[in-house]
Amino acid sequence: MTDLPKIAWIGLGIMGSPMSENLIKAGFPVTGHTLEQEKLDRLAAAGGTPAATIAEAVAEADVIVTMVPASPQVEAVAYGPDGILAHARPGTLLVDMSSITPGTSVDLARAGAEKGLRVLDAPVSGGEAGAREAALSIMVGGEPADFEAARPLFDALGTTVVHCGPHGAGQTVKAANQLIVAVNIEACAEAVVFLEKSGVDLAAALDVLGGGLAGSTVLARKKDNFLRRDFAPGFRIDLHHKDMGIVTEAARAVGAAVPAATLVAQLIGSLRAQGDGGLDHSALLRAVERLSGHGV
């Protein structure tokens, strides 16, 4: 068996920690860096190597993975004298798995190429559960040869791995994913309030809806959140608010009408303004309840 590439993992949050741990379980040597000591301790307990700086993390890496919240954080870890581009070895594969604007990904690929790095944008869908279970959907933009080089890593993290096109294409597909998820959650939330105000047994109703054409991964994953009003964050409203900004901005740039996405983006923004930004995005139910004078 050939040696697996050395991985530097930057960003050990809700998604990054379980994803990096799945690589360790698959046999990859992983060195990780993040700002919180307890997350570095968790990586060490899982068999990884914590690094105090980005420079230390990437010095010997064959592949560098970034998994941070948004474009500003990607730029912060990539650029500048302490960033990835200043310290990674030429020829290293840089895989950004964050959800950011397509333009940021294109710019990073260009800047990386100037330093001799191969860059892929590879955002994911599946939430915390998908990250833990190594069942993510991974949508990738970049050169086909670089995608194939990264394939063993992707296969250790997800079950659906697709090369979507050139740099930025992965992020464009992720934006479409977030549009669909947000509108789906909103539809489920509206149905929950409608059912409850009508006096229907909610658990029974969601079971039968899940078995028909109205069934979806969103409904299956979030059903218990709706039933229990449990909004512990798997994917925070704050992050979906960011993603809906990407959706509406990117759609406007290409002249695509996204009226449902625009409406749900406003509802997510309203929920965040009311202090619910740290809750799971299934907390859109709270917004519908408030509009309906029900339960809140």
What 3-state DSSP class applies to 229?
A: coil
pLDDT above 50 (res 1): no
What is the pLDDT averaged over residues 49-56? 97
Q: Are residue 155 and residue 97 in the same domain, yes or no?
A: yes
What confidence tier does 122 reach under pLDDT thresholds 50, 70, 90? very high
Q: Residues near 79 by Cβ (< 8 Å), separated by ≥ 6?
A: 85, 111
CATH assignment of the domain containing 99: 3.40.50.720
Contact 235, 281 (CB under 8 A): yes
Please tell me the predicted confidence (pLDDT) of residue 243.
Answer: 96
pLDDT above 90 (res 156): yes
Q: In this structure, what token pair is assigned to residue 127? A: 């939430």
Number of domains in the chain: 2
Q: Which residue of the set 6, 39, 174, 242 is catalytic?
A: 174
Q: Are residue 160 and residue 190 in the same domain, yes or no?
A: no
Q: Are residue 162 and residue 64 in the same domain, yes or no?
A: yes
Does some domain include residue 209? yes
Does some domain include residue 217? yes
Q: Are residue 141 and residue 107 in the same domain, yes or no?
A: yes
Residues spanned by the domain of 257: 172-292
Query: How far is 113 from 191, CA to CA, in rounded Å?
Result: 48
What confidence tier does 3 reach under pLDDT thresholds 50, 70, 90? confident
What is the pLDDT averaged over residues 202-227? 97
pLDDT above 90 (res 202): yes
Q: Are strands 124-125 and 136-141 parallel, antiparallel or unpaired?
A: antiparallel
What confidence tier does 234 reach under pLDDT thresholds 50, 70, 90? confident
Q: Are residue 186 and residue 153 in the same domain, yes or no?
A: no
Q: Are residue 38 and residue 66 in the same domain, yes or no?
A: yes
Q: In this structure, what token pair is assigned to residue 132? A: 């833990």
pLDDT above 80 (res 236): yes
Q: Are residue 133 and residue 228 in the same domain, yes or no?
A: no
pLDDT above 60 (res 296): no
**What angle, rounded to 10 degrees, do the helices at 202-210 and 169-197 form?**
140
What is the pLDDT averaged over residues 252-279? 96
Provide the β-strand partners of residue 77.
none
Contact 245, 175 (CB under 8 A): no
106, amino acid identity: V
The pLDDT mean for the chain works out to 96
CB atoms within 10 A of CB 49: 18
The answer to whether residue 174 is catalytic is: yes
Does some domain include residue 2? no
Q: Is the pTM of this model over 0.95?
A: no
